[in-house]
Amino acid sequence: GNSVTQMEGPVTLSEEAFLTINCTYTATGYPSLFWYVQYPGEGLQLLLKATKADDKGSNKGFEATYRKETTSFHLEKGSVQVSDSAVYFCALPANQAGTALIFGKGTTLSVSS
């Protein structure tokens, strides 16, 4: 099956700093790739996705580019805010047959003002 490796945190930044959270994957074929965000005490929310190589997913100032050469899908944001403090999960389908996702271990981001 597929797998995902995500940089472990916590990541602590000051407001307006640049954010990168690394995510690499191994997969059969070229599955869609996802970033989910989980705010304290809440469920997961889809942050962005990319469905094919070289696609760039973006939402709320976050971006991630599907790079098949490096099998990576790193999450970036140019200027983080305190409200971005959350846990971020990289994910992809577990295999080609089904729709179940596998998640990275999650990266906790803490932004201070």
**Can you give the binding site for other proteins, defined by CB under 8 A?**
31-32, 34, 36, 41-46, 49, 51, 89, 93-94, 98-106, 108
Least Å distance, CB 3 to other proteins, is 12
CA distances from 1 to 31, 52, 95, 100 (A): 12, 19, 5, 11
Q: Is the dihedral of CA 58, 109, 22, 24 positive or negative?
A: negative
Q: What is the DSSP letter of 40?
A: T
Least Å distance, CB 108 to other proteins, is 8
**Which lies closer to other proteins via its Cβ, residue 13 or residue 101?**
101
**Which lies closer to other proteins via its Cβ, residue 17 or residue 63?**
63
Least Å distance, CB 61 to other proteins, is 20
